Amino acid sequence: MRIELVKRKEHSQLMTILSPLIAVFLTLIAAAILFAISGKDPMLGLFKFFIEPLLDTWSLQEIVVKATPLVLIACGLSVCYLSNNWNIGAEGQFIVGALFGSFLPILYPDFQNAFTLPLMLLFGVLGGALWGLIPAVLKSRFNTNEILTSLMLVYVAGLLLDYLVRGPWRDPDGYNFPESRLFSDVATLPLIGDGRMSASAPITVLIVIILAIVLSKTLKGFEIQVMGESPRAGGFAGFSKKRLTLFVFAVSGGLAGLAGTMEVSGSLGQLLPSISPGYGFTAIIVAFLGRLNPIAILIAGLVLALSYIGGESVQASMGVSDKIASVIQGLLLFFVLACDTFILYRPRIQFGRRTAGREA
C-alpha cells in the first residue's frame, strides 16, 4: 500500500474550507500528546487551554483585546501576501505606528480637543505606512529581498522605541522608570465593557468588512490577486508591479501602524519599552490560518488569541510552561500549511501492485 498525491485540475472548494478545520483538529491531537508527555492529564489540559477561557466574561474580553491587533495586522499582511509581496516586518510597522501615534500626547500633552484621537490614529497609519514603504521602495528600485529588509527593520524599530522610552520621551514625573507619560483621557480610546476592551475592536471589524469588499469586488482587489498569481498576465492586463508593491506595503504597514496606535492608546495608555508580545509575527500565522481572507482572518485571530489566554490559563492552573502556547501556535501553522496541499492535490491510496492491468 502506498499513498500518493494526484494534482487536481482545479482548486477544491471543499478543501479550501475544510483545510483549516482539519489543521485545528490535528493541532488538538498534538496538544493532547504534548500534555501527556509533560505528565499532565491531556483532557484536562485541552479543557483548560481551549475551553475554560471561553466560559468567563473577563477572559472573553481579553481574547478580543488580544485578537484585535492580530486581526488588523493579519488583514494588511493578507493584502501583501496575496500579491506575492512578503512583508515579515509588521512587528516593526506596528511599533513605528505606535511611536507616530504617541508623539502628540507625549510631546504636546496640552493639545486636548476633539481632533486629538483622530489625529493620533492618522499619524499611526502614516508611521506604519512609511516604515512599510522602506522595504517596498528598496524592492521596486533595487530589487532587494523584501523578506530580509522588512524583517531587519523590525529590530531597528524595536531599538528606536527602547531609546525613546528610556531617553527623550521618558515621563519627567516617572521616577526614572522607562515609560512615557500616561495619555490624557481624550488621547485614550473609549473603553467598551468592564475590561480592557476598547473602541479598537469595532474599528477593526469595520476595516475587516471594508477590506473583504475591496478584495472580492473591486478592480484593485482583482489586481492584487492577478499580480500574486501571475505577474506576466498582470502586466498584460495593464497593472504595474512596482506601483502595486508600494501600494500593498503601504496598506499593510498602515494597518499595522493603526493597530500599534490603538494598542498604546487603548489597552496600554502609555509607551513602554516593549508594547507587543510579538503580534506582528503571530499575525503571519493568523493571515495564513485565515486563508488570506479578511472574514476568515477575523475567526483565525480569535483562535490565536485564545491560545495566548489558554497558555496563561494552563500555566497558572496546571504548572505547564507558558512556552506551550508558542508551541501550539507553531503546530497550528505547520498543520495549516500541510493541509493546504490538499487544495490542489488529492490523496490516493493504492493497494497492491496490480490495479492497472487486469490480467490479459
Binding site for another protein (CB under 8 A): 9-11, 217-220, 222, 225-226, 229-230, 232-233, 235-238, 353-360
In the complex, the smallest distance separating the C-beta of residue 360 from another protein, rounded to whole angstroms, is 6
5 vs 29 by CB, closer to another protein: 5
Distance CA 268, CA 304 (A): 20
Give min distance, CB of 221 to another protein, in A.
Answer: 8
Nearer to another protein, 141 or 232 (CB): 232
Return d(Cα 197, Cα 190) in angstroms, integer. 9
Question: With respect to another protein, which residue has the nearer C-beta, 57 or 218?
Answer: 218
Residues 6+ apart with CB under 8 A from 193: 57, 61
Task: Give yes or no for a contact between 274 and 14, defined as CB atoms under 8 angstroms apart.
Answer: no
**Least separation, in Å, of the C-beta of 137 and another protein?**
21
Instruction: Pull the grid cell for residue 1.
Output: 500500500
User: Which element (helix H / strand E) includes 245?
Assistant: helix 241-262
CB of 227 to another protein, least distance (A): 10
Cβ proximity to another protein: between 113 and 355 the closer is: 355
Q: How far is the CB of 20 from another protein (least distance, A)?
A: 19
Contact 169, 271 (CB under 8 A): yes
Give CA angle at 181 (189, 261), nearest 5°: 35
Cell of 68: 484585535
- Check: CB of residue 135 under 8 Å from CB of residue 92: no
Element holding 213 (H helix, E strand) = helix 200-217
Nearer to another protein among residue 111 and residue 222 (C-beta) = 222
Which of 144, 315 has the CB closer to another protein? Answer: 144
What is the closest distance, in whole angstroms, from the C-beta atom of residue 265 to another protein in the complex?
32
Cβ proximity of 82 and 224 under 8 Å: yes
Q: Which three cell numbers stand for residue 345?
A: 492535490
- Whichever of 130 and 344 has its CB closer to another protein, that residue is 344
Report CA 267 to chain centroid distance, whole Å: 17
From residue 61, alpha-carbon distances to 51, 92, 274 in Å are: 15, 26, 22
Minimum Å gap between C-beta 211 and another protein is 14
